[in-house]
Amino acid sequence: MPRRIRLRKVVAPPIFKGYKPYGAHVESKEHIELLYEEYEAIKLADYDLMKHKEASELMGVSRPTFARIYEAARRKIANALVEAKEIKTVYGNAWLEKDWFVCIECNSRFTIPKTISNHNCPLCSSKNIESINKH
Amino acid sequence: MSKIVITSSGNTVKSDFDLRFGRAAWFCIFDDETKETKFYENEHINANHGAGTQVAEKMLELKVTKAISGDFGPKAKELLDKFNVQMVIVQEETTVESIINKLITK
Ligand SMILES: [Zn+2]
């Protein structure tokens, strides 16, 4: 079966590759992997102090999905703090590229190479498209 | 004239759309002008690495100008982007035929 992946919009990727604990009595060799979208969920909810509904809309996911990502993020960070583990940020299912567009009608995502003058949706021809990096 | 590749799980238009690019089972090349389809089996499906790049190269060889799949790996993306191949991501369980119908009826 073809694999199914959901891509989440990430508004601003983290500006670090990871965090390392220091001065730990027992250094953990393990690390946790914080996905970009998890970082984003924490940022929107706890740094930008957005309501979950708003944050989920910004990330282009449903509220329950947002809650799940947010919960996973908090648990990972708590685990890293308590067990003195390194945090690494990894790409996950985030959507970061520039110059990608989404069709509001059929939900396809696409690039528009400079050789193409037609800026309609390449699948359904709708003119109702928007840049993914608009926010 | 425009050649469009649609990733497919089999070798007919009735086949399910394959959401993978580098590791798609088959590739359906649809000619926008003649409305003809041709199927190519993915020779790189079991490559340990670099399947995305090799498939992207194959598509460039076939003079594809548009690629429709469920996902593109970073290497494939980079290459297709460089050669101005339009990438279209559809994350829907569908068939090759229904994608072609969308392309035709537009
Ligand atoms: Zn569309």
Higher pLDDT, B49 or B94: B94
Q: What pLDDT does A41 receive?
A: 93
Q: What pLDDT does B95 receive?
A: 97
Residue-range domain boundaries for chain A: 1-97, 98-135
pLDDT higher than threshold 50 for residue B93: yes
Q: What pLDDT does A9 receive?
A: 60
pLDDT higher than threshold 80 for residue B5: yes
CB contact under 8 A, B88 and A110: yes
Q: What pLDDT does A95 receive?
A: 55
Residue-range domain boundaries for chain B: 3-104
Rounded Cα distance, A49 and A61, in Å: 18
- pTM of the shown model: 0.62
CA B67 to centroid of ligand 1, rounded, Å: 15
Q: What pLDDT does A11 receive?
A: 62
CATH for B3-104 is 3.30.420.130
For residue B37, give the 3-state DSSP assignment: strand
pLDDT beneath 70, residues of chain A: 1-13, 91-98, 133-135
Q: Which of B90, B92, B100 to mutate to test the interface with A (most CBs of A within 10 A)?
A: B90
Chain-centroid distance of CA A121 in Å reads 24
Rounded Cα distance, A59 and A68, in Å: 13
Q: What pLDDT does A17 receive?
A: 79
B88 → closest Cβ in A3, A5, A123: A123
Q: What pLDDT does B1 receive?
A: 66
Q: How many CB pairs under 8 A join A and B?
A: 64
Q: What is the largest CA-CA distance in chain B?
A: 39
- CB-based contacts of A87: which residues, under 8 Å, 6+ apart? A18, A19, A20, A31, A32, A34, A76, A77, A80
Rounded Cα distance, A31 and A102, in Å: 35
Q: Which of B91, B92, B94, B98 to mutate to test the interface with A (most CBs of A within 10 A)?
A: B91
Ion ligand 1 contact residues with beta carbon within 5 A:
A 103, 105-106, 121, 123-124, 126
ipTM, 2 dp: 0.92
Q: How do residues B16-67 score in pLDDT, each as one tens digit?
A: 999 999 999 999 999 999 999 999 999 999 888 889 999 999 999 999 999 9
- Chain A partners within 8 Å of B84 (Cβ): 113-116
Closest by Cα among B30, B44, B49, B1 to B99: B30
- CB-based contacts of B21: which residues, under 8 Å, 6+ apart? B7, B52, B55, B56, B67, B69, B70, B71, B72, B73, B76
